Amino acid sequence: MAKGKAIRPMIVVLMARALNIHSNRAGDLLPGQRAIAMISEMIHTASLVHDDVIDGSDKRRGKRTINEVWGERKAILAGDFILSAASMALARIGNNTVVKVLSQVIEDLVRGEFMQLGSKENENERFKHYLEKTFKKTASLIANSCKAVSILVNSDPEVHEIAYQYGKNVGIAFQLVDDVLDFTSGASQLGKPTAADLKLGLATGPVLFACQQFPELHAMIMRRFSSNGDVDRAWQYVLQSDGVQQTNYLAQRYGQEAIRQISMLRPSPERDALIRLTEMVLTRDK
């Protein structure tokens, strides 16, 4: 398996240190906080192993996926195994609230993946559905991991909420940028980006915004771009619309809210690193 950016555990560790300092302690991680950083990456990895089966992906981060190497049945079991190891580590922390908060993540991941399999006929509902799916599939993990490390060091619910809101907003911003990059990255090198989401039948932010300008997209969204030429046609509509700019703008708003939340913590190098990290999430181009 290829190594990822490990951006999630990095956020969790920075958040834990920022919260420890905010709570009049030394920055050093508590053992439970370190465990949460690790568990969040394990839950994430387990969900990716399953996701590659669902999406039928043969590559991740440039390497062959587990389903490609071992087959789907073993890939599902491998994902389950990672999840079971994460559950054991979670129980070992010995804090019931933390168990509840991180179990919520697992429920959200599964619900988010289910939501992605369905579509909504109505345009307003569709956007709401997309943002809720995005929260559950991408942001819940980081939001609840940030909340979990705050529970271990501080008993003030307002502090838990700051941690949660930072994670939620940065997580949604991250995914919105990801959805934009699916249309824009590689455009300069390849002449044409991958549009992997369209090929999977998924209508993300840029398409949903484009549909407001080009209602012709509606039927394609409903049939999940399955007719001949749908992917190319939808792609053209998105380029002619300002769907990419509008999705980017929305991402910036979530990013600004993340920064506003984290700025309520006492200043520390870790808090400032989380602010810079948010800016990097918003400006990344791959």
Which residues lie near ligand FPP (CB under 6 A)?
A: 43, 46-48, 50-51, 54-55, 79, 83, 106, 109-110, 113, 137-138
Q: Which is nearer to ligand FPP, 20 or 138 (CB)?
A: 138
Reference 105, options 158, 41, 154, 197; nearest CA is 41
Residues 6+ apart with CB under 8 A from 268: 17, 18, 21, 22, 27
Q: How far is the CB of 184 from Mg ion (least distance, A)?
A: 19
Of the two residues 49 and 238, which places its CB atom closer to ligand FPP in the complex? 49
Residue nearer to ligand FPP on the CB measure, 21 or 143: 143
Q: Does 51 bind Mg ion (CB under 5 A)?
A: yes
Q: Which does 177 bind (CB under 5 to 8 A by kind): ligand FPP, Mg ion, none?
A: none
Q: Is the dihedral angle over the CA atoms 60, 6, 47, 122 positive or is it negative? A: negative
Q: Which of 100/276 has CB closer to ligand FPP?
A: 100
**CB-nearest residue to Mg ion:** 55
Q: How many residues does the chain have?
A: 286
Query: Which residue, 42, 58, 40, 22, is CA-closest to 265?
Result: 22
Pick 17 or 60: Cβ nearer ligand FPP: 60
The entry of Mg ion, ligand FPP, none near residue 85 (CB within 5 to 8 angstroms by kind) is none
Binding partner at 65 among ligand FPP, Mg ion, none, C-beta below 5 to 8 Å by kind: none
Q: Which helix (H) or strand (E) holds 59?
A: strand 59-60
| Chosen from Mg ion, ligand FPP, none, partner binding at 110 (C-beta under 5 to 8 Å by type) | ligand FPP
Q: 247: closest CA among 172, 165, 168?
A: 172
The two three-digit tokens of residue 150, written as one number: 């705050």
Q: Min. distance of Cβ 233 from Mg ion in angstroms? A: 23
How far CA 75 is from CA of 29, 79, 87, 107, in Å, comes to 33, 6, 18, 20
- Tokens (6 digits) for 173: 């911003």
Q: Which residues contact 192 (CB under 8 A, 6 or more apart)?
A: 186
Instruction: Figure out which of the listed residues 47, 50, 55, 139 binds Mg ion, where binding follows CB under 5 A.
Output: 55
| Residue 5 C-beta: closest distance to Mg ion, Å | 16
Report angle CA 278, 107, 125 to the nearest 5 degrees: 70
Contact between 72 and Mg ion per CB under 5 A: no
| Rg of the chain on CA atoms, in Å | 19
Q: Which of 251, 216, 272, 231 is nearest to 18 (CA)?
A: 272
Specify the DSSP element, H or E, that contains 148: helix 140-151
Q: Is 132 in the site for Mg ion (CB under 5 A)?
A: no
- Amino acid making up residue 272: D
Residue 242: contacted member of Mg ion, ligand FPP, none (CB under 5 to 8 Å, by partner type): none
CB of 110 to ligand FPP, least distance (A): 5
Q: Which does 168 bind (CB under 5 to 8 A by kind): ligand FPP, Mg ion, none?
A: none
The smaller minimum CB distance to ligand FPP, of residues 59 and 276, is found at 59
Tell me how far, at minimum, the Cβ of 28 lies from ligand FPP, in Å: 30
Give the binding site for Mg ion (CB under 5 A): 51, 55
